[in-house]
Structure 1
Amino acid sequence: MKLNKLNAALIAGLTFSAFAANAATLRLGHNTHPDGPTGQYFEMFAQAVAEKSDGDIRVRIFPNSQLGTQREMLEQVTNGLLDMTKVDSSMLENIEPKYKALNYPYVFESTEKMHEVVSGELGQELLESTEKRGFIGLGYIMMTPRGYYSPKPINGPEDLKGMKLRVQESNTMIRLVENIGGIPTPTPYGEVFSALQQGMVDGVEGAGPSLYTARHGEIAKYFFEDNHVQMANVIAISNRAWNRLSEDQQAIVREAAVDAMNYSYTTGWDMEMALQQKAVDQMGVTIVQPTEEQRQQMIQSIQPMYQDLEKNEPEVYEFLNQIKLAQQ
């Protein structure tokens, strides 16, 4: 399967190379459904690019992991085989450690504060930090806050102890689950449904809309919405694709990416929360929100993560503190 997806990426590149000789064509792959909120962001992005460039730039979208998993598509972008993709900030921390600042629990005071930070100088610094690795970020797609969902009732932190919890391929998420007493089980997003179905995991560290969009709510009926972290997807473009664009074209693509980010923060946010509510109304999912005492208990449990970060990665710790200061 991995070989077939790599071949698909290469074939896609050959198919559109002739077109790109006359007009800029950007091939964008992502791992979500085209009708979901993230898929809609990219459709809007592609349309904005076409309109702003008067048709001189075309974005060709390959949704639903047609070109590989998220990790595989990022590797293709890094190597210049694929022009663009979206990648979770949790995966990016394995490439640029400063991205951990977006993934650490309880960093942001609110969604509004996070949007202010990533829209400013610190957010731009992060986007440009991966240029030496073969790609840069153009903007962020804001995601809804995360929690834990499971077929088993979760009414507080004590219920998470000993649970095998699916996490993203992120050291930060692994440490988080370890510190709250769970057993982290890294699993690709596309395999989560079967992992829940087969009992390979007891629950999932994830966002509420996935209960509906990925049908996880058919199995996981309890969502503990503690909002421990709100991640962002990054719109990534390969250096090779970026450098073949003129300065005017680069400005158009960057502007369209910012439009998509703002859309995800406003209209997209409402879409995401409506999908989460569908999981409640149509799938019978029960949402539990922690009490203030439970929230403080969970914040206290992850303090060793911050202590280790200060000791072992002082540059990242300082960047995280800059983010906290920027919210004051």
Structure 2
Amino acid sequence: MMIAPAFRRVALAAAATFVLAAGSLSSGAAAQGWRGWNIHTPEHPNGRGMDHFADTVARTSEGRLALRTFHNGQLGQQDEAIQQIRLGTIDFASFNLNSFTNVAPAAGVVALPFLFRDNAHSRLAIDGVAGQEVARDLEQAGLVALAWYDSGVRNLYSVRPVHSLSDMQGLRVRVQNSNLWLETMRALGATAVSAPLSAVIQRFQSNAIDAAENNWVSYHTVGHFEGARFMTMTQHSAVPEVLAVSRTRWNRLPEADRALLRAAAVESATLQRDLMDRQEAASRDHVIANGITVIEPTDRAAWIAAMDPVYARFAGTPRLQGLVESIRALR
């Protein structure tokens, strides 16, 4: 089997880091030191949730399992971190399910634009049958889902007003690196620009993009509201996030430790969701107080209708069509 050069470079670099870290442990030190990846700050709901997860595991395992979260993407960009957790050189992480649409078909379904009515609908789905389907696909991709975090509702923000679908024509929109979002922007008439979250501010400043999409928390805390002063309430996505463990690490654990990790993860998800709800409200209030313009789209039905080819491509099998229907039927 051929391995892509980029994947090979990540694998070799990660393996070298792992060997050096392992070599620094004395023979008497605990061999259960785990490394966790988080793209956000320690203060972000994800960061606080992951730190709570690590602290709970340390306490309930009486120190046998020592987990450390590396925040702010210290262990690499998101694509690199996904490759590393699949290899087993990163042990745990939180990722938005948007990131797995290319390798986990059910993740592509819950990432579909305009699928969820609101955040409560998203949580109801991921805590039920949708979560079971996504977890199954993720495990085949090398990750074990422990709990579901929340990422808020995503909207479009831009350097000029976007009132209707026609305003999307030719707009250069930063999106995550996934085929789903490249196709979504194409269906809306925009040009998708794939870029890491850390590069978005610079892209706005250099006039390389006209818009991006994210939740209120990221729009505020990463400073995107300073470069994009118009927020269009598309509410196009409420994609859950997963707190996951590398399947390589998981397969070496006794059942008692697996249960311990699952319980700690679920507890951390309860905290993370509460913090996200609070931070979403606070971030929205902050940016509005700082003068950003909030726009309600005038033709939401047209945006939804434009998604037909996206659904046909990413939920075209009987299994995925059934999952879409079951999610829509939830009340």
Alignment match, 1:176: 184
Secondary structure of the corresponding residue to residue 155 of structure 1: coil
Alpha-carbon deviations, 1:265-302, whole Å to 9, x = none? Answer: 323211233123222224x22222334xx211211221
Alignment match, 2:195: 187
Aligned-partner residue type, residue 247 of structure 1? E
Change in 2 beyond 3 A, CA 1:111/1:165: same
Which segment drifts farther, 255-264 or 97-106? 255-264
Pick one of 305, 311, 314 that aligns with 2:310: 305
Shift of 1:11: 6.0
% same residue: 26
Shift of 1:19: 8.2
Alignment match, 1:324: 328
Pick one of 82, 107, 110 that aligns with 2:115: 107
Aligned-partner residue type, residue 296 of structure 2? Q
CA distance in 2, matches of 1:155, 1:302: 18
CA distance in 2, matches of 1:4, 1:193: 31
Alignment match, 2:301: 296
Alpha-carbon deviations, 1:121-147, whole Å to 9, x = none? Answer: 431331232223322211211111111
1:1-328 paired onto structure 2 within 5 Å: 6=14, 9-10=17-18, 13-14=21-22, 22=30, 24-282=32-290, 284-291=291-298, 294-309=299-314, 312-325=316-329, 327-328=330-331
Aligned-partner residue type, residue 55 of structure 2? Q
Which segment drifts farther, 23-32 or 219-228? 23-32
2:152–2:276 CA contact under 8 A, matched in 1: no
Shift of 1:13: 4.1
CA distance in 2, matches of 1:76, 1:181: 34
Shift of 1:75: 0.7
CA distance in 1, matches of 2:11, 2:205: 27
Structure 1 residue runs of 5 or longer lacking an equivalent are none
Q: Give TM-score, length-normalised by structure 2.
A: 0.89
CA distance in 2, matches of 1:181, 1:216: 23
Aligned-partner residue type, residue 139 of structure 1? A
Secondary structure of the corresponding residue to residue 74 of structure 2: coil
Secondary structure of the corresponding residue to residue 261 of structure 1: helix
- RMSD of aligned C-alpha atoms? 2.5
2:187–2:307 CA contact under 8 A, matched in 1: yes
Secondary structure of the corresponding residue to residue 254 of structure 1: helix
Secondary structure of the corresponding residue to residue 156 of structure 2: strand
2:118–2:238 CA contact under 8 A, matched in 1: no
CA distance in 2, matches of 1:299, 1:7: 44
Shift of 1:18: 5.3
Structure 2 residue runs of 5 or longer lacking an equivalent are 1-8
Aligned-partner residue type, residue 75 of structure 2? L
Q: Give TM-score, length-normalised by structure 1.
A: 0.89
2:84–2:90 CA contact under 8 A, matched in 1: yes
Alpha-carbon deviations, 1:53-100, whole Å to 9, x = none? Answer: 333322111111111011101111111111112222111111111111
1:208–1:223 CA contact under 8 A, matched in 2: no
